[in-house]
Structure 1
Amino acid sequence: MKKFVQIFSLWMFFALGACTKEPGFHVEKYKEVKFEDIAEDVRIPSVVWDLLEFKPVVAEKKEESREGGKEEKKEGEAKEGKKEEKKEEGEKGKEGGVAKDVNFAEITVFLVEKNDGIVKDEAVKISLPKGGGEIDLSQYITDAKGSFYVGFDFPEFKDSTAQKVLFMSKTRRRKVDDKVLGSGCNQVLDITTTFMKAMTKEGLKVNTVRERYITVLGGTFFFAAQKPTGISISQVTFKDSKHQNLFCEGP
């Protein structure tokens, strides 16, 4: 009987080990997906641009952004605005001895299941072009209930003197059970510290029960890395074409 218990315990050990995955988005194999097309323009409030360019945020701009959103610009329009600023810098001379240029950089996103059957192909690596892009989660996440990890790799963070990660929510706040989920429409959060810690560990863990993951991820993540030669910027926008009712209306 004792021998049977030992064999049974050993079998249970291997059975559980076979069903348990290492936590986090850092795995050995991924299904690789590469986006070649440049993403459509993303509407970015001027206060977000200021933060991404590591400028001090002026209180008046915050008020304008909250009241009417008139400071909101398309990415292309914002770049035109920055050209005028750069001309002024050029007339005054180089700031800190180096002219600060803004460059758009590539970024990679990882979706890795924690529970079986959550992510199609178990682990996906999505490479986005310069400036980032848009990911439709419905193409990668199944209807199964469980958790998965989201990871980001922004190579420009390496050897940078400062980093910035912002999140602009595009989903409605909603009550699930006894909790209120989400930040609300067009809310901007500075998540730099939390994000950097998460990426050194398992990544962002989200759950599919009652589409919690959509409320958490729905929106745009902005990334900026400051270097002596300039600032590198990228973005990742998450949407879900199967659950558009959870997103805010309009741009």
Structure 2
Amino acid sequence: MDKPLSYDSLKSVLKHMSLKKREQIDYILPSLTTANSKFPYHLSKVTIGDCHFKVNNRTWDVHPAFQKMNEPLTAEDVAAVEFVEIKGRASIRFLVKHQINRHKDLHRYAYDQEINQDNEELFKKLIDEYLKNNTRIDTLNIYSFPKCLEDKNPETWQLKVSEFKFRNTDYATYQKIRPFILGSLPLKRLCFCFRGDTLPMFDDPLSTISISSTTYLSHAVTIPIDDVSELVISGAKFDTYWPPFQWNLKMEVMPIGATVPK
């Protein structure tokens, strides 16, 4: 009789499988479902927002469910329709994209559903299912720091990230997620948007020890010099890698307020 795989042997096999293969195990080998659920996944792309969660090719948006309180009598009355939140009920929109041929044509499948569960509890359950301690993520993109992560302890919950992006958020959000990716150092790539509120990133140890970094300029950035002048940095999308750090933007000293629309 063949002996079952040991814990260590099973772990070494599962950690190299894709998310899709891991999920197929639950259907093909039900006896391994419990063990399979305990090991962290290896995910290619993850995006996190307050109520938005994307894993590889699938996306969830979780919101409170609302009930319409009155019907409009005419087209002009549409704006007056009232909606009331249904306590303890969540609304989910799920979207998955599949490449259906070698020409990279995509098939999109989406559905909306309401569930009798608090939306924040449901979102936390979703996060906990996919992002276990030591989950490996090739690319992590952060829009905001959801409430369900506030109770996480960086001593017991770490994400193993190769590329970290926070182009669409601010430095305060970065500081919240930072303790949970320190075990990933050095990052293979760090991407952020160069704005006034992200200037501290250039002195952040996470930036200086990353293998490469990409900075995106979304608009002109102004840095005060004295009471009457400021340094204005402007340009299109650009890449910066360090070391060495290379400026390829237009920089000019201008009177304070010169870039503010009149």
TM-score (norm 2): 0.20
Structure number with the bigger relative contact order (C-alpha 8 A, sep ≥ 6) is: 1
TM-score (norm 1): 0.21
Higher strand share: 2
Higher helix share: 1
